[in-house]
Amino acid sequence: MAFRRRNKSYPFFSQEFLIQNHADIVFSLVIFILIGLMFEATAKTAILFIQPQYNVTTLLPEGEMTLYHYGWKDCATILFYFFIAIILHAVVQEYLLDKVNRRLHLSKSKNTKFNESGQLCVFHFVSSVWSLYILITEGYLLHPSSLWENYPHVHLRFQVKFFYLTQLAYWLHALPELYFQKKYFSYLLNLSRVGLVLLFLQYVSELGFHIARLFYFTDENHQKMFDLWAVSFVFTRMATLTLMFLAVGFGLARAENQVLDLEMGNFNTVLIRMTVLLLVCLTQSWLLWKFIRFQLRRWREFRHEQALRKKAATKQSLRPLKRDSLGHHENGVLKAENGASPRTKKLKSP
């Protein structure tokens, strides 16, 4: 892992070398980009990677404000924070999770799952707090109708756009899970406000699952938190469906402008709305189906285990006493059939 002392070295640019030193390599690239800010010739290029692009100054009742929209230059910014995500991943692993693992002495399979849940716990906690802060400061929680009013929401405040860029960068660095394909269509369809609420609900539910998982790895008797997570999981699925039907199915359906306009970023058409709702319904139904199958399998395994324990206890209680040719054992003393001690009697001479 990055930033730790290594006992074995590998040839440069070999697969093992890149895997072992990927965080150090990425850290060097980040330093190289930051150094570019120090020189006038490269500052304009370096700023593309660090600062969100496509800013527009608009006049609002409270004064001038800089807003942002998305474009192809966002790829450079996402790439930079993709590097940052790799570095933070290595820091959390090296200075937090590895120290805990050395104390727990987990098996190899549990160690892998513990590291995964530990990384996701940190990410989901930070993302939940951050998204909740944005929802409160932007006033979306106090005024739910603002989630769909004045659509399309092309222009975003700095904190909203920066939030989406960092989220995309994180899930891009965890590419095998492909989470960003399911979660960030709202950013491209200018449904950023609805997306913030959905991400907050999802991250709180996922945070509960990974916390329960960490407690389970430390002590397998801690299973009650999985029951709490099960309740939050079902609530999240129902809340997601309700919010999408309320915002997309009813809110956007009442909007006056329902014509596809790529330049204005308006995707409010009947076909797109129905497609979005269908995808959301299929995704949530699939997640619920997987959840129900998992719970049923877990319940059958529990019932089977209980039946085996009950059967073993019954056999233990009905086990016959040991006997031998002279009698039987009772309280550790050998007794004859009539209860007398089977000592050998002297035979009388005839």
Question: Over the stretch 162-202, which tens digit does the pLDDT of each residue have?
Answer: 999 999 999 887 764 444 444 567 777 888 889 899 999 99
Q: 45 and 130, same structural domain?
A: no
User: What is the domain extent for residue 178?
Assistant: 51-310
Contact 165, 52 (CB under 8 A): yes
Give ∠ CA 47-51-52 in degrees, rounded to 5. Answer: 130
Measured CA to CA, the distance from residue 257 to residue 269 in angstroms comes to 9
According to DSSP, the residues that pair with 335 across neighbouring strands are: 328
- pLDDT in single tens digits along all 350 residues of the chain: 445 545 566 666 666 666 677 778 888 899 999 999 899 889 999 999 999 999 888 877 777 888 998 889 999 999 999 999 989 988 998 888 888 888 888 888 888 888 889 999 999 999 999 999 999 998 888 888 888 888 888 889 999 999 999 999 998 877 644 444 445 677 778 888 898 999 999 999 999 999 998 888 887 777 788 888 899 999 999 999 999 999 988 888 888 888 888 888 888 889 999 998 999 999 999 999 999 998 888 888 878 877 887 877 777 776 655 554 444 444 444 444 454 544 444 444 44
pLDDT at 216: 86
DSSP helix/strand/coil, 63: strand
Burial (CB count within 10 angstroms: exposed 0-12, middle 13-18, buried 19+), residue 82? buried
Contact 90, 2 (CB under 8 A): yes
Would 232 be classed as within a structural domain? yes
Burial (CB count within 10 angstroms: exposed 0-12, middle 13-18, buried 19+), residue 124? buried
Q: 127 and 224, same structural domain?
A: yes
Strands 333-335 and 328-330: antiparallel
Q: 44 and 72, same structural domain?
A: no
pLDDT at 134: 93
Contact 152, 134 (CB under 8 A): no
Would 342 be classed as within a structural domain? no
pLDDT at 167: 92
pLDDT at 136: 92
Give, rounded to a whole angstrom, the gap between the first and last alpha carbons of the chain.
Answer: 94
Helices (H), the chain: 15-36, 40-50, 74-92, 98-104, 108-138, 158-173, 179-183, 185-188, 192-218, 224-244, 270-317
Q: 29 and 159, same structural domain?
A: no
Domain count for the chain:
2
Measured CA to CA, the distance from residue 120 to residue 212 in angstroms comes to 12
Q: 335 φ, ψ to 5°?
A: -120, 150
Exposure string of 309-343, with b = 16+ CB inside 10 Å and e = fewer, is eeeeeeeeeeeeeeeeeebeeeeeeeeeeeeeeee
Measured CA to CA, the distance from residue 226 to residue 207 in angstroms comes to 12
Q: 196 and 253, same structural domain?
A: yes
Contact 276, 189 (CB under 8 A): yes
The CA–CA distances, whole Å, from 2 to 29, 121, 201 equal 15, 20, 33
Q: 205 and 149, same structural domain?
A: yes
Would 128 be classed as within a structural domain? yes
Would 117 be classed as within a structural domain? yes
Supply the pTM of this predicted model: 0.76
Q: 146 and 226, same structural domain?
A: yes
Would 8 be classed as within a structural domain? no
Would 202 be classed as within a structural domain? yes
Measured CA to CA, the distance from residue 161 to residue 126 in angstroms comes to 16
Per DSSP, 68 falls in state E
Q: 172 and 36, same structural domain?
A: no
Structure tokens at 23: 């965080």
Contact 2, 23 (CB under 8 A): yes
Contact 22, 34 (CB under 8 A): no
pLDDT at 267: 86
Q: 209 and 168, same structural domain?
A: yes
Measured CA to CA, the distance from residue 269 to residue 255 in angstroms comes to 10
Q: 136 and 26, same structural domain?
A: no
Q: 267 and 133, same structural domain?
A: yes
pLDDT at 187: 75
Contact 205, 236 (CB under 8 A): yes
Structure tokens at 181: 């394909």
Q: 33 and 93, same structural domain?
A: no
Per DSSP, 101 falls in state H
Would 348 be classed as within a structural domain? no
Would 234 be classed as within a structural domain? yes
Among 5, 26, 49, the domain boundary falls at 49
pLDDT at 256: 81
pLDDT at 334: 45
